[in-house]
Amino acid sequence: MKFPSDRLRMPSPSPVPDLFLTHINLELGSNEGVGALAELFSGLEPLPAVTDRQRLWNDLLGRQKAGPVAFSALVALPHARSAGVSEILMLAGRHATGIAFDAEHPNIRLVFLIVTPKDQAAAYLQKVATLARALRQPDRIAALLTAANGDDFQRILAGDAVPS
Amino acid sequence: MNEPAASNPPSHAALRWRLWLLERLAPSDWQVTLAWAALIGIGGGLSSILFREAVHGLHLLLTGSPAGMVESFTHLEPWRRCLIPALGGFLAGAILLIGRRLTPGKSTTDYMEAIALGDGKVPFRTSLIKSTAALFAIAAGGSIGREGPMVQLAAVIASRVGQWRSFSTPRLRLLVACGGAAGIASAYNAPIGGAFFVAEIILGTIAMESLGPLVVAAVAATLTVRILQDAHTLYQVPHFTLHSLWEILPYLGLGVLAGLVAPLFLRLLRRAEKLFDQMSLPLLARLTLGGLIVGVIAVWVPEVCGNGYSMVVAILNGNVLWSALLLIVVCKGLATGASVGSGAPGGVFTPTLFMGASLGFLVGSGAHALAPAAASDPKAFALVGMGAFLAAASHAPVMAIILLFEMTLSYDIILPLMLASTVAYFTARQYEGESLYGDFMRRREAHDPDRTLPPIVLSDLLRPQPAVVTLAAPFSEIARVFIQAQIDHLYVVDHQGRLAGVISLHDIKPYLGQPDLAACVIAADILRESVPSLNRSTSLAEALATFARSEFERLPVVATDGSLRIEGTVAKNDLLLALAESGATAKGATRKSADLR
């Protein structure tokens, strides 16, 4: 019989191989939540996994209304489960000054958009939990805010290049 | 930089431990049922001890003697022998009359009816009144058994506990059945016999779903009595040996004879009841007259007083002459007819054992006189006669064999006992379709057919107010509800209370200790939408098929109007119990039809 802490121990925060970003936009322009989301969402359009773009967008907006998606004062994790997508996808965006996601979070700098098929609740929760774990480190957040390009951003997020 | 709230190590460790304990120690529905069965058994054992002590105390008060019933009455003056049973009948009647005023309205207290025909609800106050009345009738020397009120008290405790815990109808019935098993087990110090008595006679099934809790309750009751009182094997009997294979023949004859005489005994009881009915006496006068008849007989034959236990012990130990027994058994039959016929509350189980022991001893004595080698010990015939007579009267040969074996712990007698009991059972069924208890149940139905409830439907199994969360419930609330409600699946409803899906503990278990998720994950993010549901009009067979296709131990029940409003849940084990019951009922109905033909 395993000790509970062994059984429930979370995976190591770095490296994080499953934090692959499908699309990265380091220059989000909109300083308002839905606008920023739309900008990021445009990165999904060419992907074959998106089977129903309109439904996916509606589900994303519906989820925004249902409950908070801000992870911290600087980071937001908008997400949705939708029949308009056939596999889990994750995208990231960065804003130079800050996005007003809601009244309590007026200065969001990093946005991670996750979309998941309806029937993959457990996989989705795993993805969110892994991402949340990775973003718990202040150094990593700081490095993501200063990453020079998309490749660096991906490597920092995955834990391959966390600055000392 | 404002980071998410740092985790709080002590609270997460506590959460992990609680989850770990929950996963490993959280009992299944069956384990909970067994635990309640054990508690019911303990309660049944305690109530039996209380009743037995009350009988002893009241008997001492009425007769001034701490000895057994027959011994006390033997040493009483004739006028007291005559009047004390009459006084007992009068007091029992008075209590029943007062009870009628306190509990107006017609309601049955019979636990058998509550299990087999009713909804498992045994009226508390009426049962206490009836048991108190039985206490007076029995302590005053009435020719009835004390096991009846003991079982009644255990059953009413079980019913109250089940209603308090809001158990579903099948589970409540099962719990009352556990009370019955506990009562029999504690009355006769026979846990296996107690369990099989209820399983074979009342439930009509020995499916493990019901037999398991019955056994647990019976064992708990027996242990309680053994711990708190100096309980021992009920009938201490000498060592019996089958000396010759030829002895099997007279045992076979005893089986046939028991199968013929037991129905006559049942007819005698019914006839006595009809006679009292025809007299149209008020209740008080009726019970007093019943007691007076016993008292008058006791003036010359004091052995008729009580349930017959001490006489059975005397017979089994060879302390009664067959010629004396011949008179006693006739008088005892009349006395039991008077007590039962007048409506004195009590049991007829032990008097039935007495009749069997007497018949067996007389047959054995006769056979011994004719051919000593073929019936070397008439006392062994008495023992076998008890089982055979009980099997024939109750139509429950398995219970009779087990009970006799447990009450005597005499293994040597098992072969003739099995043979004679089985022969007696089939002989009795040939000539008498109704058993000691089946007759009673049938007459109850005939008197009050409305009490026969319709078969179990899904609504009867409904457990209302399941734990639910709304679509917008944050992850922290979901985790809290899982821990508090100790469930595996949590239902999610929309703002109108309609079923939206289910969250599996298995899915979220690895993340329960992760506070980061509380900020951004809600129920809508992690629910499974494809959850099968039932409604009140779903048949039990359809419900079983739905369970078979799913992984769930419970399924939600939604409104029949198509609104998906969640009304409760149904547990798979409740469904299996209900199906086992309906199977037993169907078998019982088939058997009754066959008997009638």
Smallest Cβ–Cβ distance between B1 and the set A68, A74, A133 belongs to: A74
More confident residue, B343 or B111: B343
Position of tokens 């278990």? B509
The beta-carbon neighbor of A67 closest among B3, B474, B517 is B474
* Residues of A with Cβ-Cβ distance to B472 under 8 angstroms: 66-67
The answer, yes or no, to whether residue B217 has pLDDT greater than 90, is yes
Residue B470: list chain A partners with CB under 8 A: none
Q: Which residue of B has its CA nearest to A3?
A: B20
The residue among B60 and A67 whose pLDDT is bigger is B60
Q: Which of the residue ranges B237-251, B430-444, B498-512 would you say has the lowest mean pLDDT?
A: B430-444
Say if CB B384 and CB B252 are below 8 A apart.
Answer: no
Chain A residues closer than 8 Å to B16 by CB: 4-5, 8
Q: Please give the pLDDT value at position B439.
A: 54
A68 to B471: CB separation less than 8 angstroms, yes or no: no
pLDDT at A14 over 50: no
User: What does the pLDDT read at residue B116?
Assistant: 66
Give the residue on A whose Cα is nearest the Cα of B531.
Answer: A119
B526 vs A68, A71, A125: nearest CB: A125
Q: With cut-offs at 50, 70 and 90, classify the pLDDT of residue B339.
A: very high
Query: A8: pLDDT confidence band, cut at 50, 70 and 90?
Result: very low
Structure-block tokens of residue B596: 């009638």
Mean pLDDT, residues B56-62 = 92
**What ipTM does the predicted assembly reach?**
0.78
Q: Which of B1, B16, B474 sits opposite A8 (nearest CB)?
A: B16
Q: Which residue has the higher pLDDT, B231 or B130?
A: B130
What's the pLDDT at B7? 40
Q: What is the model's pLDDT at position B231? A: 66
Could you tell me where the DSSP H helices lie in B103-164? 111-116, 124-139, 147-164
Q: Out of A71, A122, A142, whose CB is closest to B516?
A: A71
Chain A residues lying within 8 Å of B521, measured CB to CB: 125, 128
Could you give the angle at which helices B414-431 and B248-279 cross, rounded to 10 degrees?
Answer: 40
**pLDDT recorded at residue B39:** 95
CB-based burial label for B369 (10 Å; 0-12, 13-18, 19+): exposed
CB contact under 8 A, B2 and A73: yes
Question: Who wins on pLDDT, B358 or B12?
Answer: B358
Chain B residue numbers with beta carbons less than 8 Å from the beta carbon of A126 are 510-511
Specify which of B15-24, B329-338, B396-405 reaches the highest per-range mean pLDDT.
Answer: B329-338
Residues in chain A: 164
Residues of A in contact with B512 (CB under 8 A): 8
How many Å apart are CA A161 and CA B327, to the nearest integer? 106
Interchain CB distance below 8 Å, B525 and A63: yes
- B37 against B110, higher pLDDT: B37
Mutation to test the B interface, candidates A9, A60, A65, A72, most B Cβ within 10 Å: A72
Taking CA atoms, what residue in B is nearest to A142?
B1
* Of A160, A45, A43, A55, the residue nearest A92 (C-alpha): A43
Chain B interface test: which of A61, A90, A118, A125 (most B C-beta within 10 Å): A125
How do residues B146-193 score in pLDDT, each as one tens digit?
Answer: 888 998 999 999 999 988 888 888 888 888 999 999 999 998 888 988
Q: Which of B343, B349, B414, B23 is nearest to B188 (CA)?
A: B349
**pLDDT score recorded for residue B189:** 85
Within 124-143 of A, beta carbons closer than 8 Å to B belong to 124-126, 128-129, 132-133, 135-136, 138, 141-142
Which range, of A108-112, B244-248, B434-438, B573-577, averages the lowest pLDDT?
B434-438
Indicate the range of A14-23, A145-154, B388-397, B489-498 predicted with least confidence. Answer: A14-23
pLDDT value of residue B18: 67
Residue B590 has pLDDT above 60, yes or no: no
Task: Grade residue B440 by pLDDT with cuts at 50, 70 and 90.
Answer: low
Give the residue, A23 or B563, on which the prediction is more confident. Answer: A23
Residue A21: its pLDDT value, please?
Answer: 86
C-alpha distances (whole Å) from B234 to each of B307, B340, B420, B486 are 14, 24, 21, 44
Average pLDDT over residues B345-350: 85
Instruction: Identify the structural domains of chain A with CATH numbers, from first to last.
Output: 18-157 (3.40.930.10)
Mutate to test the interface with B, among A2, A8, A101, A115 (most CBs of B within 10 A): A8
Kindly identify which residue of chain B lies nearest to residue A112, measuring between CA atoms. B520
Q: Is the pLDDT of residue B594 over 90?
A: no
Average pLDDT over residues B231-237: 69
What residue in B sits closest to A122 (Cα-Cα)? B507
Rounded to the nearest angstrom, the minimum Cα separation between B17 and chain A is 6
Is A124's pLDDT higher than 90?
A: no
Average pLDDT value for residue range B356-377? 88
Domains of chain B in start order, with CATH, are 29-228 (1.10.3080.10), 245-450 (1.10.3080.10), 457-578 (3.10.580.10)
Predicted confidence band of residue B309 (pLDDT cuts 50, 70, 90) = confident
pLDDT above 80: residue A91 = yes
Integer distance in angstroms from the first to the last C-alpha of chain A?
Answer: 39
Confidence check: pLDDT of B521 > 70: yes
3-state secondary structure of B51: helix
Compute the nearest-CA separation of A34 from chain B (Å). Answer: 17
Task: Report the residue from B24, B509, B520 with minimal CB separation from A77.
Answer: B520
d(CA A33, CA A17): 29
Instruction: Report the pLDDT averaged over residues A109-114.
Output: 92
Whether pLDDT at A9 is above 60:
no
Residues 6+ apart with CB under 8 A from B272: B337, B338, B340, B341, B342
Give me the pLDDT at residue B261, please: 93
Nearest one of B304, B322, B306 to B359, comparing CA atoms = B322
Residues on chain B touching A141 (C-beta within 8 angstroms): 1, 3
Give me the pLDDT at residue B4, please: 38
Q: Among residues A97, A47, A99, which one has the least CA distance to residue A78?
A: A99
Q: A24 to chain B, minimum CA–CA distance in Å?
A: 21
- Report chain B residues whose CB lies below 8 A from the CB of A7: 20
Average pLDDT of A7-36? 69
Cβ contact A121–B513 (<8 Å): no
The answer to whether the Cβ–Cβ distance between B520 and A142 falls below 8 Å is no
Give B307's pLDDT tier (boundaries 50, 70, 90).
confident
- Residue among B419, B365, B367 nearest B388 (CA): B419
pLDDT tier, B427 (very low <50, low <70, confident <90, very high otherwise): very high
Tell me what the pLDDT averaged over chain B comes to.
Answer: 83
CB hemisphere CA count around B148 (13 angstroms): 27
Please report, rounded to a whole number, the percentage of residues in chain B having pLDDT higher than 90: 29
What band does B292 get if pLDDT is binned at 50, 70 and 90? very high
**A114-123, B347-356, B508-517: least confidently modelled range:** B508-517
* pLDDT at B322 > cutoff 90: no
Chain B CB contacts of A70 under 8 Å are 519-520
Q: Is A119 on the interface with B (CB under 8 A)?
A: yes
Of the candidate ranges B124-138, B418-432, B561-575, the one whose mean pLDDT is the lowest: B561-575
Structure confidence at residue A160 as a pLDDT band (50, 70, 90): low
In this structure, how many other beta carbons lie within 10 angstroms of the beta carbon of residue B593? Answer: 9
Which chain B residue is nearest to residue A80, measuring alpha carbons?
B525
| A8 and chain B in contact, CB less than 8 A | yes
Q: What is the DSSP string of B490-541?
A: EEEE-TTSBEEEEEEHHHHGGGTT-GGGGGT-BHHHH-BS----EETT--HH
Q: What is the mean pLDDT of residues B99-105?
A: 76
Chain B residue numbers touching A71 (CB-CB < 8 A): 4, 516, 519-520
Question: Which of A159-163, B393-397, B495-499 is predicted least confidently?
Answer: A159-163
Residue B40: per-residue pLDDT: 94
Low-confidence winner among B288-302, B465-479, B516-530 (lowest mean pLDDT):
B516-530
